[in-house]
Homo-oligomer: A and B are copies of this chain.
Amino acid sequence: MRVSVFRQAHFNAAHRLHNPQWSDEKNQQIFGLCNNPSFHGHNYELIVQITGEIDPETGYVIDLKIVKDLIEEEVVRPFDHKNLNIDTDEFRNLNPTAENIAVVIWQKLRRRLDSHLDLSVRLYETPRNFVEYSGA
C-alpha cells in the first residue's frame, strides 16, 4: 500500500538566466527580460512528494516534520534570500532555470532519503510557470 505524502515550502531568491558561451545578443534574444544583468527574483514555492509504504506503527509514510526539517536544511537555508548565481555553489556554473533548480533540489533531497522511498519535486517559479522532476 504505497501512499504519497507532500510537503510545501518556499524561498525567495534573485537569479539571472545566462549562457556564458553565448554572445550578449544571443543571451538577450533567448532569455529576454530574464537575462537582466542586474538580476530579478521570485517567490519559489516547492512541493516535495515522497512515496512509500505506510508504517503500521505510526500511520506515517514518513514524519512530515522530518521532511520539513530536511527541506529547511537542504533548500531553504542555502537558497532563501540568496542570489542563486552568486551566492550558491550549485548555480555558479549552471543556468538557474526552474528546470535546473528542480533537478538540483531533487538531487540534494534524494541522497538524504532511504532508497525505498520515491521522490518527486515540483517547483513554482510563478503561479503560472512551474516544473516537476521525478528522477526519471
Contact = CB atoms under 8 A, between A and B. Distances in A.
Interface of A: 1-10, 12-15, 17, 19, 21-22, 30-34, 36, 38-43, 49, 54, 57-61, 63-65, 80-83, 86-87, 94-100, 102-103, 126-133, 136
Given A12-B41, A19-B57, A36 B99 contact: no
| Tally of this chain's copies | 6
A39 B58 contact: no
A30 B96 CA distance: 29
A81 B34 contact: yes
28 contacts: A3-B102, A3-B131, A3-B132, A4-B132, A5-B99, A5-B129, A6-B129, A8-B128, A8-B129, A12-B40, A12-B41, A13-B41, A14-B38, A14-B40, A14-B41, A19-B58, A21-B57, A36-B83, A38-B86, A40-B80, A40-B81, A41-B41, A49-B132, A54-B103, A59-B95, A59-B100, A61-B99, A61-B131
